[in-house]
A and B are shown apart, each in its own frame.
Chain A
């Protein structure tokens, strides 16, 4: 498995609270991505990064922000969690354009 870890693996929180999910890689890959997985929707891209401090929005970015201060770490923040953000969140990495993406184990987030 590619060296990707996500933390926490499970989290339950309440509506309105801030939440930060962490993705850590040991592969030194340039590109990092955050997806959410919901039944019937497959995976949808939230944000991605193409380098340190270089990020851009994906398909479903509203309510989420990201930061990448080091190559190995990509943080996803929900500033004020809502129940619609209950989902499984996956981080992925890739070394170059059009290359396959390697996925982390996922974080299951429940917002009550």
Chain B
């Protein structure tokens, strides 16, 4: 079974600064990778996903993530954050080798953007 580690539970950052949220997963031959965002008192919505192809994936709201197979990582980045990016971010992985698309989620990283 997959496991997902989000190394930082909270990331404070000033507005307009760059940010990287880290995600590592347990090794597998084939994985599908996702980043979700959760704004306060809301459900999760998809930021971006990697299924195959280019290892650099661009998502909504200016976010991007890079799949690094050798390091089993899928870190999320944004070059300049806004106050409105304050939210909790979840990395999720599904095992592409097995039938079924159940996702395994990391524990989440709370991004706090300060003015």
Contact = CB atoms under 8 A, between A and B. Distances in A.
Contact of B45 (A44, A58, A94, A103): A103
B90 A43 contact: yes
A90 B44 contact: yes
A42 B107 CA distance: 4
User: By DSSP majority rule, is chain B's interface helix, strand, loop, or mixed?
Assistant: loop
Contacts of B32: 98
Nearest to A4: B43
Contacts, number: 57
Q: For chain B, which range describes its interface: under 10, 10 to 19, 20 to 34, or 35 or more residues?
A: 20 to 34
Contacts of B49: 100
Interface of A: 4, 31, 33, 35, 40-45, 48, 50, 58, 90, 92, 94, 96-106
B101 A98 contact: yes
Nearest to B43: A103
Per CB-CB distance, the 10 closest pairs between chain A and chain B, nearest first, are A103-B43, A42-B105, A43-B105, A103-B44, A42-B107, A98-B101, A97-B101, A100-B46, A105-B43, A98-B32
A42 B42 contact: no
Nearest to B30: A98
User: By DSSP majority rule, is chain A's interface helix, strand, loop, or mixed?
Assistant: strand
Interface string B36-80: 100001111110010100000000000000000000000000000
Contacts of A40: 9, 107-108
A5 to B, nearest CB: 11
Contacts of A104: 43
A96 B94 CA distance: 13
Contact of A96 (B44, B101, B107, B108): B101
A42 B44 contact: no
Nearest to B46: A100
28 contacts: A40-B9, A40-B107, A40-B108, A41-B107, A42-B6, A42-B90, A42-B107, A42-B108, A43-B92, A43-B103, A44-B105, A48-B102, A94-B101, A96-B101, A97-B100, A97-B101, A98-B32, A98-B51, A98-B94, A98-B96, A100-B46, A101-B103, A103-B43, A104-B43, A105-B42, A105-B43, A106-B42, A106-B43
